[in-house]
Amino acid sequence: MTDTLRDTWELEAEVTALMSSTSPLPGLQELLIRPAWHSAAACRNMGVKTFFPPEGASVNGAKSVCRRCAVSDECLKYALANPSLKGIWAGTSERRRRALRKQGPAATISISKAPIACSG
């Protein structure tokens, strides 16, 4: 199977899962246009339910994946640069990313060097 065909099937599966989910949905553009680093992400091919949990649900599974990801710094930079993104990115929630944006670039550097805590 070609990579393009596999990517198309994976995208279709993700869109189908999102459509049946009650959690906030990422924008269509975020689903269709992914950054180059995403192909090396630990979350690649995992599906979306873990990273877009319903409000109040545990995010420990997503954070666990993010802790072992080789591209979490790139992911965090991307998430901070795109405030409209929903869900868990680089082990951070939307609320955490808002706080990091308010703290400025120094906070971004310090979080990217620190281990990600599983606090839910």
pLDDT tens per residue across span 44-103: 888 788 898 888 888 999 999 999 999 999 999 999 998 988 999 999 999 999 999 998
Q: Which residues of 9-40 are buried (b: 16+ CB within 10 A; e: fewer)?
A: eeeeebeeebeeeebebbeeebeeeeeebeee
In a domain, 43, yes or no: yes
In a domain, 119, yes or no: no
* Average of per-residue pLDDT across 94-114: 74
What DSSP designation does 42 have?
T
In a domain, 86, yes or no: yes
In a domain, 26, yes or no: yes
Q: 94 lies in which domain range?
A: 3-113
pLDDT of residue 120: 37
In a domain, 56, yes or no: yes
Poorest-pLDDT segment among 21-25, 38-42, 55-59, 68-72: 21-25
Sequence-separated (6 or more) residues with CB below 8 Å from residue 87 = 23, 24, 26, 48, 51, 52, 53, 62, 94
Dist. CA 97–CA 83, nearest whole Å: 8
Cα 14 to the center of its chain, rounded Å: 13
Dist. CA 120–CA 57, nearest whole Å: 8
Domain count, the chain: 1
**62 in helix, strand or coil?**
helix
In a domain, 44, yes or no: yes
In a domain, 118, yes or no: no
In a domain, 64, yes or no: yes
The answer on pLDDT for 30 being more than 90 is no
pLDDT of residue 113: 47
* pTM strictly above 0.75: no
